Amino acid sequence: MVDITIWFFISSGLFLGWSLGANHAVNVFGTAVVSKMVKFRTAAIIAGIFVVLGSVISGSGTTRTIAELGPINAIAGSFSVALAVGISVTAMTRYKLPVSTSQAVIGGIIGWNIFTGSPTDLGSLSRIISSWIASPIIAGIFGYCIFIVLKRTVLKWKIHLLELDQYIRVGLIIVGALASYSLGANNIANVMGMFVFAPLFSDHSLWGIVTITGVQQLFFLGGVAIAIGIFTYGRSVMETVGNDLYKISPLTGFVVVFAEFLVLTLFTSETIESFLLSINVPSIPLVPLSTTQAFIGAILGVGLAKDPHSINFKVLGKIALGWVIAPISAGLITFVSLFFIQNVFEQKVIYPVPYEISRSVLTELEKEGIPVDSIKEMTGKRFYNKKVLRNELLKRNNYTNAQIYSIFQYAIIDSFRIDSTIIVARLEKSFLTDEQAAALKLYHGKTFRHKIDFEKFLAKARIEFVPTGNKLIDKQIEETKLFIENTLRISAKNK
């Protein structure tokens, strides 16, 4: 039996799922409904089914990029961020503006970072923002090209109008179902990803055949919330985009959703990433993608190909304003809600993580060119509050956000232990040579406080992770390194 307080805390995630479904219904079946090719009820049912399937089957949780922005490690903090994002998205939906839930989530996480004193990884943030800029442009190019191809081929085949309508209707249902599956798979992390690190639900075995994990149960609830949002309130945003921004015909509707689906696949497919890396070219970053921006970009691409004068750029400006307001409002609401949750309701919004400035940390900081003379007196002192550590650092030097982020990354107490039993069970045959495994076993029981100290020890044991210049091989090396670290990390082992 799940504690009633757990249901209360995840209710904000369910609310966020509902608001996401209401706002994002237009991205998957809006064109089909507005063009009168598919009834709203039929579209909502199909979308709901495939959203839930995508959430449970392919919802892998938050990406590493989102985790790097701000690891929320307390359920009350997750509740506050999800509630703030849900309120922001719902407000935008109320004004019939399609917004990006990913943008609002990023705004909420940054709000959490500011409140808790956690530094934001500007590198990860820049990759996410660049994807927000690139995705609508690429979707517009896809939409433009696909429409031109169809115009010069299919439309010249002189297919009977009734037969052509039937083909388009089937196409709209297929691409709508695929886009719905992708919507669930990619956006369930925004809805429930903040809660996956808390042991909310136990794994359950069905007849001893299939085991449903606690995370899958969480994703199922989030997927159902999205589906309910689509069914109950999805029509309003459909009317704004479909009738106001650009008059969508059945054929253009098919092209728009197809282009959106292609972009979504391009930015989320590990297969495409591996292929690009295998030919040693820069890969497309797998970052949280704004499906709404891709959808709007596809509409503009089709509009430019068909009739540029028919695009209502005033509505486009209003929609773009919503994209700016959503993350800012989510961040502000998150900050205020965290204050009340922590000080009025006396709930922990963050669990303390220990940090310590050691000699090895100072050495690494010097290698990066970060001044350390002013913080040498902090050597050996342990901090359990991020704000306190941040303030102590800023008292001694006017560090930039990027420099503070590096100090936090090096100073965190990460705790590794050499365990020969684990090496034999999980590492020896697949990840280590016999010589490397033997070298590690000699140091059974040895512990390390910092990740950098552990990595230096591995190098001495001739377990090195030196970049080769080949992007695919370097990615595999990095994955091996992370697996070894996660296997021998004390906190991971004890879970």
Angle between the 451-460 and 359-367 helix axes, to the nearest 10 degrees?
80
- Mean pLDDT on 145-158: 88
Per-residue confidence (pLDDT) for residue 62, from 0 to 100? 43
Identify whether residues 383 and 459 lie together within a single domain.
Answer: no
Domain count, the chain: 3
Hey, is 51 helix, strand or coil? helix
113 in a structural domain: yes
Predicted confidence (pLDDT) at residue 73 exceeds the cutoff of 80 = no
Which of 311, 343, 375 corresponds to the end of one domain? Answer: 343
Per-residue confidence (pLDDT) for residue 393, from 0 to 100? 95
The pTM for the full model equals 0.80
Identify whether residues 307 and 389 lie together within a single domain.
Answer: no
Contacts of 2 (CB under 8 A, 6+ apart): 200, 201
**Helices and strands (DSSP H and E) totals, the chain:** 22, 6
Closest C-alpha to 53, from 188, 242, 234? 188
Per-residue confidence (pLDDT) for residue 66, from 0 to 100? 67
Predicted confidence (pLDDT) at residue 95 exceeds the cutoff of 70 = yes
- Mean pLDDT on 374-399: 93
Identify whether residues 267 and 221 lie together within a single domain.
Answer: yes
Look at 79 and 309; give whichever has higher pLDDT: 79
CA distances from 227 to 47, 56, 88, 414 (A): 7, 13, 19, 40
Q: How many CB atoms lie within 10 A of CB 442?
A: 10
pLDDT, tens digit (0-9, with 9 covering 90-100), for 53-69? 988 887 764 445 666 67
From 148-162, 192-206, 380-394, 432-446, the region with the lowest mean pLDDT: 192-206
Token digits for 251?
């054929």
What's the CA gap between 168 and 115, in Å, rounded?
50
Per-residue confidence (pLDDT) for residue 242, from 0 to 100? 55
pLDDT, tens digit (0-9, with 9 covering 90-100), for 4-17? 778 888 899 899 99
The band of 356, judged by pLDDT with boundaries at 50, 70 and 90, is very high
Closest C-alpha to 85, from 64, 110, 113, 114? 110
349 in a structural domain: no
Q: How many CB atoms lie within 10 A of CB 271?
A: 8
Predicted confidence (pLDDT) at residue 173 exceeds the cutoff of 70 = yes
What's the CA gap between 454 and 460, in Å, rounded?
10
Per-residue confidence (pLDDT) for residue 160, from 0 to 100? 84
Token digits for 482?
């992370």
Which of 363, 390, 411 corresponds to the end of one domain? Answer: 411
From 122-126, 395-399, 449-453, the region with the lowest mean pLDDT: 122-126
- Mean pLDDT on 321-337: 90
Identify whether residues 338 and 359 lie together within a single domain.
Answer: no
Identify whether residues 399 and 424 lie together within a single domain.
Answer: no
Per-residue confidence (pLDDT) for residue 93, from 0 to 100? 76
Per-residue confidence (pLDDT) for residue 248, from 0 to 100? 73
What's the CA gap between 148 and 144, in Å, rounded?
6
332 in a structural domain: yes
22 in a structural domain: yes
75 touches 196 (CB < 8 A):
no
Identify whether residues 141 and 264 lie together within a single domain.
Answer: yes
pLDDT, tens digit (0-9, with 9 covering 90-100), for 201-260? 777 777 777 777 777 888 899 999 999 999 998 887 776 655 565 567 888 889 999 998
Per-residue confidence (pLDDT) for residue 246, from 0 to 100? 56
CA 384 to chain centre: 27
The band of 359, judged by pLDDT with boundaries at 50, 70 and 90, is very high
348 in a structural domain: no
What's the CA gap between 13 and 87, in Å, rounded?
11
The band of 460, judged by pLDDT with boundaries at 50, 70 and 90, is confident
Per-residue confidence (pLDDT) for residue 492, from 0 to 100? 43
What's the CA gap between 21 and 13, in Å, rounded?
12
Predicted confidence (pLDDT) at residue 96 exceeds the cutoff of 60 = yes
CA distances from 485 to 179, 466, 480, 482 (A): 36, 16, 9, 5
pLDDT, tens digit (0-9, with 9 covering 90-100), for 126-148? 888 888 889 899 999 999 999 99
Per-residue confidence (pLDDT) for residue 123, from 0 to 100? 81
Element (H, E) at 206: strand 204-206
Q: How many CB atoms lie within 10 A of CB 207?
A: 5
Per-residue confidence (pLDDT) for residue 221, from 0 to 100? 93
Per-residue confidence (pLDDT) for residue 234, from 0 to 100? 86
The band of 493, judged by pLDDT with boundaries at 50, 70 and 90, is very low
Closest C-alpha to 193, from 213, 222, 224? 222
Which of 396, 411, 426 corresponds to the end of one domain? Answer: 411
What's the CA gap between 326 and 105, in Å, rounded?
9
Per-residue confidence (pLDDT) for residue 171, from 0 to 100? 94
- Mean pLDDT on 163-186: 90
Question: Any bridge partners for residue 383, and if so which?
Answer: 355
Q: What is the mean pLDDT of the chain?
A: 85
350 in a structural domain: no
What's the CA gap between 215 and 220, in Å, rounded?
9
Identify whether residues 278 and 397 lie together within a single domain.
Answer: no
Per-residue confidence (pLDDT) for residue 133, from 0 to 100? 87
Identify whether residues 305 and 287 lie together within a single domain.
Answer: yes
290 touches 327 (CB < 8 A):
no
Question: Any bridge partners for residue 448, and if so which?
Answer: 416
Look at 246 and 400; give whichever has higher pLDDT: 400
> 211-239 as b/e, with b when 16 or more CB fall inside 10 Å?
eeeebbbbbbbbbbbbbbbbbebbbbbbe
Predicted confidence (pLDDT) at residue 196 exceeds the cutoff of 60 = yes
Element (H, E) at 356: strand 355-356
Per-residue confidence (pLDDT) for residue 397, from 0 to 100? 94
Identify whether residues 338 and 426 lie together within a single domain.
Answer: no
Q: Which domain holds residue 320?
A: 4-343
Identify whether residues 422 and 407 lie together within a single domain.
Answer: no
Per-residue confidence (pLDDT) for residue 61, from 0 to 100? 47
- Mean pLDDT on 304-333: 83
197 in a structural domain: yes
Look at 315 and 43; give whichever has higher pLDDT: 43
Look at 148 and 72; give whichever has higher pLDDT: 148
450 touches 440 (CB < 8 A):
no
Per-residue confidence (pLDDT) for residue 245, from 0 to 100? 56
Contacts of 156 (CB under 8 A, 6+ apart): none
In single-letter form, the type of residue at position 137 comes to: I
288 in a structural domain: yes
Look at 197 and 425; give whichever has higher pLDDT: 425
Per-residue confidence (pLDDT) for residue 468, from 0 to 100? 81
Classify residue 148 by its DSSP letter.
H
Identify whether residues 387 and 435 lie together within a single domain.
Answer: no
What's the CA gap between 105 and 304, in Å, rounded?
31
Per-residue confidence (pLDDT) for residue 390, from 0 to 100? 92
223 touches 54 (CB < 8 A):
yes
Identify whether residues 37 and 121 lie together within a single domain.
Answer: yes
